[in-house]
Amino acid sequence: MSSIELFSNPAGLKGKDFLSLSQFNSDEITGLLESALMMKKEAKEGKFPPYLKGKTLGMIFEKSSTRTRVSFEVGMYQLGGNAIFLSSKDLQLGRGESVEDTAKVLSRYLDGIMIRTFAHKTVETFSENATIPIINGLTDLHHPTQVLADLLTILEHKGKLKGLNVCYIGDGNNNMCHSWIEGAVKMGMNLSIACPDEYAPDQTIASSAMNEARTTGFSIKITSCPKTAINGADVVITDVWTSMGQEAENEKRLHDFKDFQVSADLVEHATSDFIFLHCLPAHRGEEVTSEVIDGGHSVVLDEAENRLHAQKAILRAIMGDGMV
Tens of pLDDT, residues 265-304: 999 999 999 999 999 999 999 999 999 999 999 999 999 9
146 annotated to bind ligand: yes
What does the pLDDT read at residue 323? 56
Length of the chain: 324
Average pLDDT, the chain: 94
129 annotated to bind ligand: no
Query: What does pTM read for this prediction?
Result: 0.95
Residue 52 in domain: yes
Residue 73 in domain: yes
Let me know whether 264 and 153 are in one domain.
Answer: yes
Let me know whether 203 and 226 are in one domain.
Answer: yes
Of 174, 171, 150, 173, the closest CA to residue 262 belongs to: 171
Question: How far is the CA of 179 from the CAs of 191, 239, 267, in angstroms?
Answer: 12, 13, 23
Note the pLDDT tens digit of each residue in 24-83. 999 999 999 999 999 999 999 999 999 999 999 999 999 989 999 999 999 999 999 999
Let me know whether 149 and 253 are in one domain.
Answer: yes
Q: Is the alpha carbon torsion for 14, 16, 20, 21 positive or negative?
A: negative
Question: How far is the CA of 90 from the CAs of 16, 62, 93, 177, in angstroms?
Answer: 27, 10, 8, 31
Let me know whether 95 and 46 are in one domain.
Answer: yes
Let me know whether 313 and 299 are in one domain.
Answer: no
Q: Hey, which residues are catalytic here?
A: 116, 143, 146, 239, 279, 307
6 annotated to bind ligand: no
Note the pLDDT tens digit of each residue in 182-196. 999 999 999 999 999
Q: How many angstroms separate the CA atoms of 105 and 93, rounded?
A: 12
What does the pLDDT read at residue 13? 92
Residue 16 in domain: no
Instruction: Give 190's strand partners.
Output: 165
Let me know whether 136 and 149 are in one domain.
Answer: no
What does the pLDDT read at residue 1? 42
CATH of the domain at 61: 3.40.50.1370
Q: Tell me the one-letter amino acid at 246.
A: Q
Let me know whether 68 and 113 are in one domain.
Answer: yes
144 annotated to bind ligand: yes
What does the pLDDT read at residue 245? 84
Let me know whether 158 and 169 are in one domain.
Answer: yes
Of 282, 324, 276, 283, the closest CA to residue 303 belongs to: 276
57 annotated to bind ligand: no
pLDDT at residue 249 above 70?
A: yes
Asked if residue 151 lies in contact with residue 33, where contact means CB atoms within 8 angstroms, the answer is yes
Q: How many angstroms separate the CA atoms of 289 and 261, rounded?
A: 7
Structural domain tally of the chain? 2
Of 201, 202, 196, 200, the closest CA to residue 256 belongs to: 196
Question: How far is the CA of 73 from the CAs of 93, 217, 309, in angstroms?
Answer: 22, 40, 12
Q: How many angstroms separate the CA atoms of 83 and 215, rounded?
A: 41
Residue 112: CB partners within 8 Å, gap ≥ 6? 55, 56, 57, 58, 132, 133, 134, 135, 315, 318, 319
Let me know whether 127 and 224 are in one domain.
Answer: no
Asked if residue 171 lies in contact with residue 180, where contact means CB atoms within 8 angstroms, the answer is no
Note the pLDDT tens digit of each residue in 104-125. 999 999 999 999 999 999 999 9
Question: Which structural domain range is residue 103 located in?
Answer: 26-142+307-319
The answer to whether the bond into 133 is cis (omega within 30° of 0) is no
Let me know whether 134 and 149 are in one domain.
Answer: no
